[in-house]
Amino acid sequence: MKNANIQLTSPLEVTVIPNMVIDQVVPEANELQLKVYLYILRHQADSDQIQISRMADFFNETEKEISRALRFWEQKGILVPSHEEASPKQDTAPHQQEAPCETDFTVPVRPRLSRNEVQQLSKDREFSELMFLAEAFVGRPLTARDVESLLFIRENLRFSSELLEYLLEYCTSQNKKNFKYVESVAVAWASQGITTPEEAKAQSQGHSKRIYSVMNALGKKSDPTPTETAYINRWYQEYGLTQEVIGEACRRTVLATDKNRFQYADKILRSWSQAGVRSLEDIAKADTAYTQKKTPASRRSAQPAYAANNPFLQHTQSDTDYASLEKLLQ
């Protein structure tokens, strides 16, 4: 094979990766861990971009999965192991992480299967039937990674055959046939202690009305992603806000921006929660206080700075009757 000539772009458009990371750590990292590391290198000069919630949205993953990927790089000594930072070792700028809303739950280690191990699993009758069922739901042959996900959900998350079948049915009904999504939902259910299809249905039905009302208020017509669901649960559970307060924040968000609406609404609701807002009346009081605080500065800024000491700009309109004065002079 001939040597390939690679032409790089301008240095300002290049992200540099340390050779030590490529030589020693990259061979051990999985796909998501590599993506997270490259994302952090790319945005290390922009601290607002390096947040768990932003990375979860960018990669269409759950915040839990992003946290796991970050822990891998922390264990390797590449990232600073801090609850408030997610930066490469050479970067000391702090980056805020937003805590996921899931309850305390340790995600088991995901298995890595060789081709021979996949073939051995296909000979197991029960697992073979599960693979056949999964292929019927997703409408295609399973990849080795898909088989790893099935094994992870059944063995490590301890899903029964009935619960796993309902999981596949549920994800398919949401038009989500990617096993990353299937695995994310399975981890979320396991973290909530769901062990039967009945519990999964009850959980889905119990939260769907509340979640979809927020989705509609933000102008979202699609089904919520795990990250979007985590945001909504945070507003209700962690911030302790009511539906009418959340609805008002959504209304203001829609009027203000077309992009990153969940992040925008979260900033509003976080500030309201910290200010003790619990009702629309509290919001009205907060708005009034903000307006009164801002008004004096606005009035001062309405007059040019040079006008205060300029005598030519300080005169008032004269009340002299020039017509009568002219008659007296004749």
CA distance 26 to 242: 46
Between 312 and 160, the more confident residue is 160
pLDDT of residue 151: 87
pLDDT of residue 93: 33
CA distance 102 to 109: 18
Is 228 exposed, middle or buried (CB count within 10 Å of its CB: 0-12, 13-18, 19+)? buried
pLDDT of residue 5: 55
Sign, CA dihedral 200-202-206-209, equals positive
pLDDT of residue 301: 55
- Report the pLDDT averaged over residues 60-82: 77
Read off the pLDDT band of 298 (50, 70, 90). Answer: low
pLDDT of residue 106: 54
User: Look-up: residue for tokens 């959900």?
Assistant: 153
- Report the pLDDT averaged over residues 123-151: 86
pLDDT mean across residues, the chain:
76
**Which among 152, 155, 156, 150 is positioned nearest to 168, based on CA atoms?**
150
Q: What's the pLDDT tens digit per position in 89-131? A: 444 333 333 333 443 445 555 667 676 777 777 777 888 888 8
CA distance 187 to 68: 12
What's the chain's length in residues?
A: 330
* pTM of this prediction exceeds 0.75: no
Amino acid at 73: W
Name the range with the highest mean pLDDT among 14-18, 161-165, 315-319.
Answer: 161-165
Q: What's the pLDDT tens digit per position in 187-208? A: 888 877 889 998 888 777 666 6
